A and B are shown apart, each in its own frame.
Chain A
Amino acid sequence: MPGRNNVYLHSTEEAANRKNAAQELLKNAPPLVVASIKNGILFVGESYNVLLRKTAEIYDKIAFGAIGKYAEFNSLRKEIIYLADTMGYRYARQDVTTERLVEHLAEQLQVAFNNFRQMPPMVAIILAEINEKPEHDKIFKVSFDGDITSHHPYIVVGYNAEKIDKKIKKLLGDKKMSDLKHGAAIVLIKEAIITSKDDSSEKTKLEISFLSRNKTGRCFYRLK
């Protein structure tokens, strides 16, 4: 029968379509920058709604950042907080590792992406963990299809990510990200986000949170 063939799609083709759809949405999501600096890890994201937070605390030294659909990444956030708390209670607080949480996230996202009966998940999630020295900090990105990538010393995701990345490199010059303290780093990243906007007259609302290297116990707090 003619026409039938047009309806049927090979699974690789289907996957490519889903990938495109998710990438399209993520390209237009407000940007988020996660940077490992001298006294901690900094999360700076553009956000238009105070209720829809894109950064959050996960465990003592681990924090979460995400772009994409709020409902989707929020349920994943709750899931990994539960996992981290359970692990911390069963074993010990220092046994909760980012790798384990990232693995869980990747598994969930991969399964959801391969389920062709549903919409693909449209999120990119970043988990970051501080250590005693900036060079040992861990920043992982888990994308919508379950891919895991590791980034150091910083990562930019969302709208105009490449442009912002270039701006940050330009602003940094000879300096290193790991030499900056949070005050200077916020100013730098803020400028990079604002100047790479298409319409620079538009007002920018930022969400800033911080994992502090100098604290003990729960190290996460919000700056704005």
Chain B
Amino acid sequence: MYFLKELKKYIDSLQVEKMDKDKMAKLAVKGTVIMAIKYNKGVLIAGDMRVTRGYDILQEDFYKIYPISGGKAVIAIAGVVAFAIKMIGILNLEIEHFEKREETELSFDAQANLLSQIVSSFLPLVFNGIVVAPILASQDKIYGYDPLGARYERNIWITGSGESFAQGSLDDDWDPQSKTKNDAVKMAVKALKKAQKNAGVGPGRVIYLIENKIRKLTEEDIKNITGGE
């Protein structure tokens, strides 16, 4: 918690009372659908690549998934891009600083707790339409966050504006012990496709697998698994 204080100072200096919610909604650049799915050997984390501002599409090749410093976890971001990137920066900084200062690793639960504190320190902004809801995942755990900073440990977690469309193609009785990597990839691809019914979700996709190592699936890998979809 060495840099969190400075983050709080920064947020206090923003003069939240003077912000105009409607203007903010038009200005804010937003990313849309992300999900994490647990399977027998690890965790899949996926998202689309579109960012929007108001009714405009800004980018179709934006990455919403980033490996976190320390090599244990991956973060996916949905919501206002500017603040989401700031969160990732602070989280990485804190983890790296802790590792060097104390000469030990920071456990995944501690990282999740830290992210929770970072998200909740953005609370004054939430009421002005600036909402960030990340997902943090390691090899055997998924933590989904709500914009107020609460975290939930689940087998499947999905957030973003395409959420309600994608929800239908996710298996309610998903049992991570009996499902393989291929099952998870197939379900994620299907859900991403469904989510495209929302105008905020683009056709691009990024899928990361967190097993013993963290690796990004290429488009070819995805097509091999799903049979050309």
Contact = CB atoms under 8 A, between A and B. Distances in A.
Interface of A: 53, 56-58, 78, 81-82, 85, 88-89, 218
B103 A85 contact: no
A206 B128 CA distance: 58
Contacts of A88: 93
B100 A81 contact: yes
Given A82-B2, A89-B89, A56 B103 contact: yes
Contacts of B103: 53, 56
Interface in B79-113: 89, 93, 96-97, 100-101, 103
Nearest to B99: A57
A64 to B, nearest CB: 10
Given A56-B100, A81-B97, 9 more contacts: A56-B103, A78-B101, A82-B97, A85-B3, A85-B93, A85-B97, A88-B93, A89-B89, A218-B96
B89 A81 contact: no
Interface string B154-193: 0000000000000000000000000000000000000000
A57 B89 contact: no
Contacts of B3: 85, 89
Nearest to A78: B101
Nearest first, the 3 A-B pairs at minimum CB distance are A85-B97, A81-B100, A89-B93
Contacts of A81: 97, 100-101
B215 to A, nearest CB: 17
A212 to B, nearest CB: 16
B10 to A, nearest CB: 12
B176 to A, nearest CB: 32
Contacts of A85: 3, 93, 96-97, 100
18 contacts: A53-B103, A56-B100, A56-B103, A58-B100, A78-B101, A81-B97, A81-B100, A81-B101, A82-B2, A85-B93, A85-B96, A85-B97, A85-B100, A88-B93, A89-B3, A89-B89, A89-B93, A218-B96
